[in-house]
Structure 1
Amino acid sequence: MNFFWVLSGQKIKRIAVLVVAVFFAAGIFYAEKKNIQVFLPVETGPEAIYSVETDKKQLALTFDISWGEERAGPILDVLEQKGVKKATFFLSSPWAESHPDIVKRIVDMNYEIGSHGHRHDNYSTYSEEKIREQISKADHILTKLTGKKPNLIRFPNGDFDKRVLRIADSLGYTTIQWDTDSLDWMNPGTDKIVQRVVSKAHPGDIILMHASDSCRQTHEALPEIIDKLRDKGYEFVTVSELIAGTKVKTDPIE
């Protein structure tokens, strides 16, 4: 958007100065004088990471868990049987607190654990105080259960706004989204889950899957997903390894 001022007379000059001051205070300023243009961008603050730009054929398998006890075990079984040493699990803290045995298994298998918040709700609808409370509560529970403070967070429903991102950042968290959504939560059929993930996967990808009980087909699709991605030359890494020292993408690939 371009802003131009044609000044003629002292009164218009005063108005122009006022308009410039208002936009400057808002972090936006664009002026033209003697063919010189100046643009000061609005400060964006922290952003969510969807993938990374890399030539390496690496990607991250990620699993959200917010409820249930029947699906996490079979998914961990598949990862173990297939020799997948690295993956990232985003755990809802109430679920983690009520399933310490499964959390321990994830920890013992050396998988990365990130926060999935406390209440499974849209945090963008919360006050700043409540956002901070929910992140902090999950932080305390997950740190106690795993012995390590998480530094990655994926918000429930993938929902956030600039306030949520800013508060998470102030609490030491990087917000992680995804570029490839398996849509396993829709239970569309094993073949469709496999086809969607394998066809969309790309170097630097973060793949979203779930290990909650509502996702009944993920553990059935996972073996073929792993095999086909390996056949394409992909290596599985944690989210932290994927984003370390690389240029992150803060917008999903269409």
Structure 2
Amino acid sequence: MNYFFVINARKFKQYLFIALAIIFSAAIVYSEQSNVSVFMNSEPSAIYSVQTEKKVIALTFDISWGDTRAEPILKILKDNDVKDATFFLSSPWSKSHPDIVSHIKSYGFEIGSHGNKFDNYSDLSDEEIRNEISTAHGILTELIGKEPNLIRLPNGDFDKRVLRIADDLGYSVIQWDTDSQDWLNKGVDTLVNRVVSKAHPGDIVLLHASDSSQQTHEALPDIIQQLRAKGYQFVSVSELIKQTQVETTPVEDQAMKQIH
């Protein structure tokens, strides 16, 4: 009889240990899932590309200064039957070049904000960040007749504060996955090869229509033709986002910077 109770006591301890281990593991899994869910749902993120198997790609053009590069680029897009592209315009440039802004709009291209002053927003106070985005918003809304909801920060610079404030103001922060580096003016062939070799489905390509980028308009026809030969279709950033799940990159407290 005593032997029977010893065996059952041992089994009871084993079962109790297993049960406690299962409960503990389940608690850890639940906690981790909760933490992931909270992080993903509460923290705005910048959009670099979208995850898709479709051969869709967004050509984007930043403009902050100059008046000689935008019109040739618009003509090339039109001549090559590219109906969708996205232009990120700084508000001071837009205010001084309303005719070019009108041309971009008349061609049906998407227009997003490139901010107001060309500063690193991560260096600004919350109030200054809000003021810069809001000032640009007012100017662009008046010029294009609708409220923009996409923004690419000057220098591609932001931190978590900038993302939260932009989100509060109704903006999605748009970055890029393929940087053409056209502002370095390394040569037309180099520019074409860099874009075409790095392009992938769901990609957002960074280009410029500012005067500092002297070879973009020369490289653009080949970029368009070679990407089309690979089966790519050109879409706006908004259309790209609509098609599939957005692929984002977590942001640390330090600024994410790209000089151009």
TM-score normalised per structure 1: 0.84
Residue of structure 2 in register with 1:227 after alignment: 225
Sequence identity (%): 65
Please state how far the C-alpha of 1:213 moved relative to its aligned partner: 0.3
Please state how far the C-alpha of 1:33 moved relative to its aligned partner: 7.9
From the CA coordinates, give the structure whose radius of gyration is larger. 2
Given residue 199 of structure 1, which amino acid in structure 2 is its aligned partner? S
Residue of structure 2 in register with 1:241 after alignment: 239
Give me the whole-angstrom Cα distance separating, in 1, the residues matched to 2:153 and 2:93: 15
Q: 1:181 aligns with which of 179, 182, 186?
A: 179
Q: Per-residue CA shift, 1:58-94, capped at 9, x if unaligned?
A: 0000000000001001111111111111100000000
**Unaligned residue ranges in structure 1 (runs of 5+):** 1-31
Give me the whole-angstrom Cα distance separating, in 1, the residues matched to 2:220 and 2:109: 16
Residue of structure 1 in register with 2:80 after alignment: 82
Give me the whole-angstrom Cα distance separating, in 2, the residues matched to 1:188 and 1:121: 25
Residue of structure 1 in register with 2:16 after alignment: none
Given residue 248 of structure 1, which amino acid in structure 2 is its aligned partner? V
Residue of structure 2 in register with 1:209 after alignment: 207
Given residue 100 of structure 2, which amino acid in structure 1 is its aligned partner? I
Q: Per-residue CA shift, 1:31-61, capped at 9, x if unaligned?
A: x984442335263510000000111110000
Residue of structure 2 in register with 1:9 after alignment: none
Q: Per-residue CA shift, 1:93-115, capped at 9, x if unaligned?
A: 00000000000000000000000
Residue of structure 1 in register with 2:156 after alignment: 158
Give me the whole-angstrom Cα distance separating, in 2, the residues matched to 1:34 and 1:227: 58
8 Å contact from structure 2 (residues 57, 235) kept in 1: yes
1:48 equivalent to 2:41? Answer no
Residue of structure 2 in register with 1:12 after alignment: none
Count of aligned residue pairs for this structure pair: 221
Q: Per-residue CA shift, 1:191-248, capped at 9, x if unaligned?
A: 0000000000000000000000000000000000000000000000000000014111
Give me the whole-angstrom Cα distance separating, in 2, the residues matched to 1:34 and 1:160: 40
Aligned runs of 1:1-254 on 2, under 5 Å? 34-35=24-25, 36-37=27-28, 38-39=31-32, 40-41=34-35, 43=39, 45-251=43-249
Sort the Cα spacing of 1:163 and 1:231 in 2 relative to 1 into closer, same or farther, 3 A: same
Given residue 249 of structure 1, which amino acid in structure 2 is its aligned partner? E
Please state how far the C-alpha of 1:127 moved relative to its aligned partner: 0.3
Give me the whole-angstrom Cα distance separating, in 2, the residues matched to 1:251 and 1:133: 26
Give me the whole-angstrom Cα distance separating, in 2, the residues matched to 1:74 and 1:189: 18
Q: Per-residue CA shift, 1:132-186, capped at 9, x if unaligned?
A: 0000000000000000100000000000000000000010100000000000011
Given residue 131 of structure 2, which amino acid in structure 1 is its aligned partner? E
Give me the whole-angstrom Cα distance separating, in 2, the residues matched to 1:213 and 1:194: 18
Given residue 98 of structure 1, which amino acid in structure 2 is its aligned partner? S
8 Å contact from structure 2 (residues 45, 249) kept in 1: no
TM-score normalised per structure 2: 0.82
Sort the Cα spacing of 1:141 and 1:189 in 2 relative to 1 into closer, same or farther, 3 A: same
Residue of structure 2 in register with 1:13 after alignment: none
Relative to total residues, which structure has the larger helix share, 1 or 2?
2
> Which moved further from structure 2: 33-42 or 66-75?
33-42
SS at match of 2:213: coil
Please state how far the C-alpha of 1:251 moved relative to its aligned partner: 2.7
Given residue 128 of structure 2, which amino acid in structure 1 is its aligned partner? K
